[in-house]
Chains A and B, each alone.
Chain A
Amino acid sequence: MTLTEHPVRGPVGSRRPRGAPRRGGGVPIALLLPALLGLAFLTLPLIGLLARTPWSTLPQRLAEPGVLAALRLSLLTATLATLLCLLLGVPLAWLLARVEFPGRRLVRALVTVPLVLPPVVGGVALLLVFGRRGLIGGWLDQTFGITLPFTTTGVVFAEAFVAMPFLVIAVEGALRGADRRYEEAAATLGAGRWTTFTHVTVPLVGPGLAAGAVLCWARALGEFGATITFAGNYPGRTQTMPLAVYLALETDVEAAIVLSLILLVVSVVILAGLRDRWISTP
């Protein structure tokens, strides 16, 4: 009798060479059909935009100074908002994932409030806190002469408010999924909690962190309601692309389509670029 080193399981007839492709049609139709429908549902509006794009006048429209200003402002504020969210949201996610404290469930629910709150209401709420007569804004104004509404900083605040839950939820999930024993290993090597956090925990949850940051950035880029309510609309200062699109819709649908298209192309290019970078690192 010979003993095989790797016992073969199952009937002999079902053996196939390792690495050989499975037989075709492995995806069940019950999954494939809704998947394709879902894809169509998500991409058809995009096709609708493309179909209505006034290609002949596109160059002139792109060259309009207001367009570039709004695009630059959008990219700048969405990026700053994402940085702000990382600065505050990652520690918050860590707290929610790693520290037992009374009322943690409540805090977790509160974090998601901006997700369910209509953004316009969020903007009003921000005004009530950071506005000229607001709880904190009044003090800021009188003490330091700092006002947030109608400023670019205000745009960043509004965007961060609505986008932060995406980051916190993604990072908290990643932290819960991460193997905590690596942190213990770091501790036995002499790393304190902060060093462990920065040198071990954060790199370990890197993919989740990146996904959260991307979601956060994308949400900030498309933000409209809270921004126009809290920061108003002024070209070059607080008029981001979504605001420009909304106003263009009032008079010139084609202009609105062009603006939407620019926002779309730029964000897709940036996200695809970043994604390639992340995937290439093991």
Chain B
Amino acid sequence: MRPRTAVLAGAVALVLAGCGTPGGEAADGDVTGTVTVFAAASLTATFDRIGRDFEAAHPGSTVVFNFAGSSALATQITAGAPADVFASAAPQHLEAVTTADGTPAVFVRNQLVIAVAAGNPEGVRSLNDLARPGLKVALCAEQVPCGAAARGALDAAGVALTPVTLEADVRGALAKVRLGEVDAALVYRTDTRAATPDVAAVEFPESAQAINDYPIAVLADAPNPTAAHAFVAHVRSTQSRAVLTEAGFQAP
């Protein structure tokens, strides 16, 4: 495992060298040590890659991630977990913790889509179709961000539907589409992207009413503030933006 990671990191470093100096984070010498990043579960795949890029750009630094639901992360931070950076899937969870540099910055946005089985066998085209009798729909519970967003979109479209389940997180909703237990679910575009080819995404215009902002901030009690600031800058760099966009996120 270790050697492979090293080779990969080396390759990334070469690519970086070819592109010239990456934007935003000039080579400041004292970015070393461990950066502990608490990030929303929906960021798992992209942040893993961004973390490797960061380590390659800053030899001597290590990025450690803790991926979980944003509210659980906020609870852990409030309870004193030693985190440097918090990337949340919704602004209210960042408001619950104390950040170092005032207003947290929104670095990406995520948009709802209708997730259906590959090939869209039920022919779902719009939010209205979800109210069709016999069609089984999974939503997120309103207590979690994807559920709140779904409620906003459905209200905006004036669609009243009775889901069969209100899932506790977006993965639960997506899993039920994948297993064929429901015909459709309202999830984030990034989630469907990760679930290709089992799941297809149907875009709908009302999703503009329910866009999720992802803020990121350095925490007030960050053990390694220098590296933490460098990491946040790296996340907001053009290079990382490309990684995020490829995964289905939108620029803020």
A and B touch in the complex (CB under 8 A): yes
How many whole Å from B123's CB to the nearest CB in chain A? 18
Which B positions have Cβ atoms within 8 angstroms of A?
Answer: 69, 71-72, 75, 136, 138, 141, 143-144, 163-168, 172, 175-176, 179-181
- State whether B179 touches A128 (Cβ < 8 A): yes
Q: Which of A219-244 contact B (CB under 8 A)?
A: 228-229, 231-235, 238-239, 243
How many whole Å from B9's CB to the nearest CB in chain A? 32
Chain B residues positioned under 8 Å from A247 (CB to CB) = 141, 143-144, 166, 168
Chain B residues positioned under 8 Å from A250 (CB to CB) = 69, 71, 141, 143-144, 168
| In the complex, residue of chain B having the shortest beta-carbon distance to the beta carbon of A249 | B71
- State whether A248 touches B143 (Cβ < 8 A): yes
Task: Name the contact of B179 in the complex, choosing from A131, A233, A239, A246 (C-beta under 8 A).
Answer: A131
Q: Which of A68-90 contact B (CB under 8 A)?
A: none
Count of A interface residues, CB-CB < 8 Å: 25
How many whole Å from A241's CB to the nearest CB in chain B? 14
Chain B residues positioned under 8 Å from A108 (CB to CB) = none
A115: Cβ under 8 A from any B Cβ = no
Q: Which of A259-280 contact B (CB under 8 A)?
A: none
How many whole Å from A13's CB to the nearest CB in chain B? 60
Chain B residues positioned under 8 Å from A131 (CB to CB) = 179-181
Task: Name the contact of B167 in the complex, choosing from A233, A235, A248 (C-beta under 8 A).
Answer: A233
What are 9 A-B pairs at a CB distance below 8 A? A150-B164, A232-B164, A233-B167, A234-B163, A235-B166, A247-B141, A249-B71, A249-B72, A249-B75
Chain A residues positioned under 8 Å from B164 (CB to CB) = 149-150, 232, 234
Further pairs besides A124-B175, A127-B179: 15, Cβ < 8 Å: A131-B179, A131-B181, A133-B179, A229-B172, A232-B172, A233-B165, A234-B163, A234-B165, A235-B166, A247-B141, A247-B143, A247-B166, A249-B75, A250-B69, A250-B71
